[in-house]
């Protein structure tokens, strides 16, 4: 959840690099921020609660001559957001400073032991024990020291450490929390995510679980869990800072919404060839004769993409497919074995609940496929197979383009498996592909309706509650639209199949209650019309998102957003773009921070 940055070099001042990196990582947590640099044979620490601007203001007149340091932006888990609970944390002897992303599950046990040894604590965080342990076990060899520390820690962590007595090096390690190393000329970096260092280098090393690294300005040494030095490949990142910048947009979210037509095209260009065939190259090695069932497992927005994916698999591939939330899946004792394919979806590839669910599935013999946006991420490395969504960096906490890329890729996967399964003939195969090739243009047309959607958002901004309804695959789309409105506008919303209205929820409908009704499915239009009439009879204000030709839906609704008559199976993906814009403009109208909604972080790396 939190963001880590570290720098050692001889060209730039550390504070400048760290603050710049924290600015790129603030989407990972913005309850507080801080940095530590080594100067004049001592460690200087500055940390402030609230957004990064508070730390920048505090350091405004600070002079520095340091070329090594670490920084942190926090999403609070243990201890409220405050200066004291901000990172970095000192050891009592001021020898070391640490930054940490993750959760130390046995910190209370360690803390009690350290207090008994005479150690004093200045925060309520779990992370502070790491600094004190490092000081307690300190020997001249940093690898020996960090191995002793790691033996004591139970939980997840990415850790960066600077040592006053070794002012030329950064020590780092990870377990179940992301950490990368940026490799430059006479400068090296650690970071939670690529955007933090992209300004300085595109060459990165992805640390695996339990690996340790020592960075100096002119060297990077990697060690395995036994302290033995190993060699790791350097990966070149193929996207640039322009993709990770706003480029004149008021918010990353709007920029990322508008990138979706090109993202769909890029996905199709990546996974189809010149002969009009889906081509996953060597990414997939699935023996369908052994697969009796497919599970799709994910969290949040990725889970909602999975709901669409399961619909595609059932209706196109004719394969039994279930969807589950990762945090529930691993505790539900699912019926999985070597005849099960489990698909794990995660934008970051670091979602800890999803990663743990994958490990459990592998232990039961299931085949595993990761769908992720991040090259070299933990979930990508752990899976038997991986498909990348190629959406580029997604900075806004509320996911938009990653979702659309996931849905597009799941659609292609369903066609591919359907052909392999013998249920999609050549004519149907190309018909399905023709449908998906129309998606980009139809998204473009919805984006041209921004001003219409903005006007509708003016009605919603002062509402406390809203309901999203749909039938069939539209009801899956409703769940994602509802989540977007919740997470960035703070309006309480619920989404459910429209047929469930009469089973309790209609009791909540009164004069002016907002209803967002998705009606894109031909065989469901008459039923949706009845549901809308039931709501209107009780005073609801209905905003319909539907096709232009469904005039009966349009006529009975109070407001509407329409699009052309695209085929039913991907119509909800087009409707979802309207829902993204509706949530975005409602949040803008309310004056909230769209890209950094309260209490949320981009990558959920704790359980």
Tokens of residue 295, six digits:
């599970």
Tokens of residue 579, six digits:
């829902």
Q: Which of 210, 174, 212, 209 is nearest to 192 (CA)?
A: 174
Order of strands, sheet of 89-90, starting from the edge strand that comes earlier in the sequence: 89-90, 96-104, 155-163, 166-175, 212-216, 219-223, 229-230
The yes-or-no answer on residue 2 being catalytic is yes
Handedness of CA 508, 512, 518, 524 (dihedral sign): positive
Round to whole Å and give the CA distance between 358 and 364.
10
Which of 24, 217, 484, 602 is catalytic? The answer is: 602
297 by DSSP, 3-state: which? Answer: strand
Which of 2, 299, 477, 478 is catalytic? The answer is: 2
Round to whole Å and give the CA distance between 323 and 350.
19
Handedness of CA 9, 10, 14, 17 (dihedral sign): negative
The yes-or-no answer on residue 602 being catalytic is yes
In this structure, the dihedral spanned by the alpha carbons of residues 246, 249, 255 and 259, taken in order and rounded to 10 degrees, is -100
Round to whole Å and give the CA distance between 354 and 352.
5
Round to whole Å and give the CA distance between 118 and 107.
16
Tokens of residue 371, six digits:
């769908």
Cis amide bond preceding 88, omega within 30: yes
- 507: Cβ–Cβ under 8 A, 6 or more apart, which residues? none
First-to-last C-alpha distance (Å) of the chain: 10
Round to whole Å and give the CA distance between 19 and 25.
10
Active site positions, annotated: 2, 602
């Amino acid at each position: 959840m939190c963001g880590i940055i570290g720098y050692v070099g001889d060209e730039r001042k550390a504070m400048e690099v760290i603050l710049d990196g924290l600015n790129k990582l603030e989407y990972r947590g913005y309850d507080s921020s801080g940095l530590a640099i080594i100067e004049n044979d001592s460690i200087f620490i500055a940390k402030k609660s609230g957004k990064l601007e508070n730390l920048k203001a505090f350091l405004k007149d600070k002079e520095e001559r340091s070329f090594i340091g670490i920084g942190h932006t926090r999403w609070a888990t243990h201890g409220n957001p405050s200066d004291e609970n901000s990172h970095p944390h000192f050891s009592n002897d001021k020898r070391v400073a640490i930054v940490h992303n993750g959760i130390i599950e046995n910190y209370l046990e360690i803390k009690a032991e350290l207090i008994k040894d005479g150690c004093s604590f200045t925060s309520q965080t779990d992370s502070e024990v790491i600094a004190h342990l490092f000081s307690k076990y300190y020997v001249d060899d940093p690898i020996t020291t960090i191995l002793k520390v790691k033996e004591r820690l139970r939980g997840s962590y990415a850790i960066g450490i600077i040592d006053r007595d070794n002012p030329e090096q950064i020590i780092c390690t990870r377990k179940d929390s992301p950490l990368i190393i940026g490799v430059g000329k006479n400068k090296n970096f650690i970071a939670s995510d690529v955007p933090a260092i992209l300004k300085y280098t595109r060459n990165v090393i992805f640390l695996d679980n339990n690996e340790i690294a020592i960075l100096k300005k002119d060297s990077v040494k990697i060690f395995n869990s036994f302290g033995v030095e190993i060699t790791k490949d350097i990966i070149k990142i193929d996207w640039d800072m322009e993709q990770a910048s706003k480029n004149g947009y008021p918010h990353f979210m709007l920029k990322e919404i508008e990138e979706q037509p090109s993202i769909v095209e890029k996905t199709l260009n990546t996974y189809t060839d010149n002969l009009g065939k889906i081509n996953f190259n060597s990414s997939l090695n699935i023996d369908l004769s052994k697969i009796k069932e497919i599970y799709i497992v994910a969290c949040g927005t990725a889970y909602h993409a999975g709901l669409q994916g399961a619909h595609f698999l059932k209706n196109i591939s004719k394969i039994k497919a279930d969807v589950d939330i990762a945090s529930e899946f691993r505790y539900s004792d699912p019926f999985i074995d070597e005849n099960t394919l489990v698909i794990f979806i995660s934008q970051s590839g670091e979602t800890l609940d999803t990663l743990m669910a994958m490990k459990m599935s592998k232990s039961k013999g299931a085949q595993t496929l990761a769908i992720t946006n991040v090259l070299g991420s933990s979930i990508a490395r752990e899976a038997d197979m991986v498909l990348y969504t190629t959406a580029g960096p997604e900075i806004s906490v509320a996911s938009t383009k990653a979702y659309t890329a996931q849905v597009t890729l799941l659609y292609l996967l369903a066609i591919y498996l359907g052909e392999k399964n013998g249920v999609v003939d050549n004519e149907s195969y190309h018909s399905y592909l023709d449908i998906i090739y129309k998606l980009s243009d139809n998204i473009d047309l919805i984006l041209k309706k921004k001003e219409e959607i903005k006007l509708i958002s003016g009605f919603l901004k002062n509402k406390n509650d809203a309901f999203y309804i749909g039938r069939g695959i539209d009801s899956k789309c409703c769940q994602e639209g509802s989540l977007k409105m919740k997470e960035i506008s703070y309006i309480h919303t619920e989404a459910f199949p429209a047929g469930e209205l009469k089973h309790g929820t209609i009791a909540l409908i009164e004069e002016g209650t907002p209803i967002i009704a998705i009606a894109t499915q031909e065989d469901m239009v008459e039923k949706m019309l009845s549901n809308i009439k039931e709501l209107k009879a009780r005073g609801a204000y209905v905003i319909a998102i539907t096709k232009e030709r469904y005039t009966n839906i349009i006529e009975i609704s109070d407001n509407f957003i329409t699009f052309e008559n695209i085929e039913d199976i991907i119509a909800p993906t087009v409707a979802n773009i309207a829902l993204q814009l509706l949530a975005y403009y409602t949040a803008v109208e309310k004056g909230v921070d769209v890209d950094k909604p309260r209490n949320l972080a981009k990558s959920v790396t704790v359980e």
